[in-house]
Structure 1
C-alpha cells in the first residue's frame, strides 16, 4: 500500500514543468517561453523532456518553425488549464482577510467602458462582498500570469482550451444623432451614398459587408472618419459627425438616452456574435465567477450561447 501511494505521488509533476508546458503551448516556441519564465531555452526544453518522460508520451511535435501540441498535449492542456491560476488564487485567499473576494476582470475597451462600467454599481449592490478589479485592452492576457478570472473578448471565438460563453442578440446597426437625421432624412440604404460614414475599424461587420447585404454598391467616396475603438465611433456619431455602423450592445445606452437612434428597422441590421466571456475550465465553479456570470445573464435578459 505504501508503495502504491508513493507511485501516485510521483505522478504529480514539478511545478516548473507545468509552467514550462503552459508557456511553450501558448507560444509554440521554446525561446519565447524561456523569456517569459526567466529561464534559458535549454532549461525549458529540459523541463518539457522531464514532463514527457513522466507521462510516457510526446506532448509536442518539434518542427523547424516551432513546436505544436500533439493530440496528447492538447488533451493535457485542456485538463490542466487554469491549474496555476487556481493555485495563485488559493495562495492569495490564504493570505487575505476572511471574507475578502476579488473578481478580476479583463475586457475589450469599448465593452468595458460602454456596457460593463455603467452597470458595475448594480453588481456591487447585489454582491457587496466581492471587490472588482477591471482592466481593459485588446491584448489577450494569460489567465494565470495576469491573475484574470474572466476575460470579455471581442472577435471570432477560437479558444478551444477555454470555456466560452457568447453573448447573443447583438446586431450591427446603422445609427445617427437625431439632429443629423433632421438635416439629412434617410429612408433606405441607398440614401447613405455620398453621406459622411464613420468607419469602426475593429467591428466584425463593416460598411462594405452591410451595403452588400442590402444590395447596394459600396460608395466610392472615402469614409469621413475612422476609429479603432467603438466608443470613439459612437461619440463621433453622437456629435452628429456622420452615420455609424455599430453594435446594438455597445450603443444600447446611447439609444436609451436618445443620443443616437437606429436609422433603419431591425430587419436591415446584421446579426453578429462579437463579444464572449472567456475563462479557464473550472472557473465557473468559483462563487465570485458564478455570481458574475449569473448577473450578466440577468442584465442581458437571456442565457449565453455555449
Structure 2
C-alpha cells in the first residue's frame, strides 16, 4: 500500500487553503500557529513542492495547491461525514451550502424548522462568504446564488423571477419636497448590489430615463446593509420586489411604481454528479417543494 502523508497535515492544508490564513486555520483546528505551519510544511516536504504563495497576512494556494485542494478536499469532507455518522447514534447527512445572507434570512431560515421536521438526519453547514458557484466541489456541495444565468456545465434550477424595485426611506415621500418623479433620482445616490450590478441600468432603461444620472452609485455586498442604508436615507436601493416585501420594514417605501423585470434570479446550483449524493438531493427536493412550488 502506498504511504500517505499524515491526516493532520492534510487537514491543516485544506483549512489554510479554504480560509487563506494560517492564523484563522490554526484557530479553527485549535492549534498554535507554529504547530499548524509545521503540519503544512510536512505535507509540502512529502509532496516535494510548495503549495502556497506566502504573503504578509495571507497564504494563497498556488497552482499545485489548487490542484491538490480540488482533489482531496471533497474526500476529506466525506471522511469527516463518515466518522461523524459512525460515532452518532443516528445517521447524519451533511450538506455544505453556500448562500447569500439576505436570501438565507428572508427565505430559508424561516422554514428551516420544517426541513428539520421532515429530515432530522440532514444538517446544514451554512457558508455566506460569497462566490459560491466558484467553490462548488471545493468546500461546497451546493449553492443558492443570484445570477443572470448559470454555466450550462452545472446543474441549475431557477428559484424565482422578480421585478426591480426602487426602495427608499419613507421620509423621501413624506417630506417637504417629496420624491415623486423618476427624474428626481438625479439628486440621490443609487445603492446597488455587487451581485446585481445591472439592476440600476435595467430599471433606468425600462423607465425611459437613460440620461438621468444619480449623484453616485454606491456598491454593497450585503443586501441587508443596502436596505438599512436606504432606510437611513443614504440613497435609494435598486433591489428585488421580494427583498422589499420580505423585509416588511415600515421605514421603507417603494418609489414610482414602475414595473421592471429583473435580469437576475436566485438559482439552486450544484455539479451534476452532486445530485447523486443523498443530502444534496434531499435538500434540493425539499427546497423546490417548499420554497418554489408553494
CA deviation vs aligned residue, 1:251-301 (integer Å, no higher than 9, x gap): 3321x3434332233x52223333221112133344432332233234434
Q: Indicate if the aligned counterparts of 1:109 and 1:138 stay in contact, CA closer than 8 A.
A: no
Distance 1:199 1:38 in 2: 37
TM-score calculated relative to the size of structure 1:
0.61
State yes or no: 1:154 paired with 2:146: yes
Q: Are 2:200 and 1:207 aligned?
A: yes
CA contact (8 A) 2:180 2:256 kept: yes
| 2-structure distance, mates of 1:282, 1:82 | 15
Aligned pair partner of 2:273 in 274, 282, 285: 282
Q: How many residues are aligned here?
A: 228
Residue 176 of structure 1: how far off its partner (Å): 1.9
Shift of 1:104: 1.4
Q: Does 1:104 align with 2:96?
A: yes
Is 1:133 matched up with 2:125?
Answer: yes
Cα distance change on mapping 1:292 and 1:181 into 2, 3 Å = farther
Counterpart CA distance in 2 for 1:206 and 1:263 is: 15
* In 1, Cα distance between equivalents of 2:119 and 2:226: 33
Question: Residue 251 of structure 1 corresponds to which residue in structure 2?
Answer: 244
Cα distance in 2 for residues equivalent to 1:209 and 1:103 = 35
1:94 aligns with 2:106: no
SS of the aligned residue for 2:137 comes to helix
Computed over aligned residues only, the root mean square deviation of the Cα atoms, in angstroms, reads 3.4
- TM-score, normalization by structure 2: 0.63
Within a 5 Å distance, the mapping from 1:177-256 to structure 2 comes to 177-183=169-175, 185-223=178-216, 225-254=218-247, 256=248
Unaligned runs of 5+ in 1: 1-30, 40-80
| Contact 1:174–1:269, Cα closer than 8 Å, also in 2 | no
Deviations 1:67-91 (A, max 9, x none): xxxxxxxxxxxxxx99984x66654
d(CA) in 1 for partners of 2:98, 2:166: 28
Whole-Å Cα distance in 2 between the matches of residues 188 and 284 of structure 1? 48
Q: How many angstroms apart in 1 are the aligned matches of 2:272 and 2:159?
A: 18
**Residue aligning to 2:286:** 295
Question: Could you give the per-residue CA deviations for residues 15-38 of structure 1, whole angstroms, max 9, x where no partner exists?
Answer: xxxxxxxxxxxxxxxx95423245
Shift of 1:135: 0.7
Question: Aligned to 2:243, what secondary structure does the other structure show?
Answer: coil
Runs of 4+ in 1 over 6 A off after TM superposition: 81-84
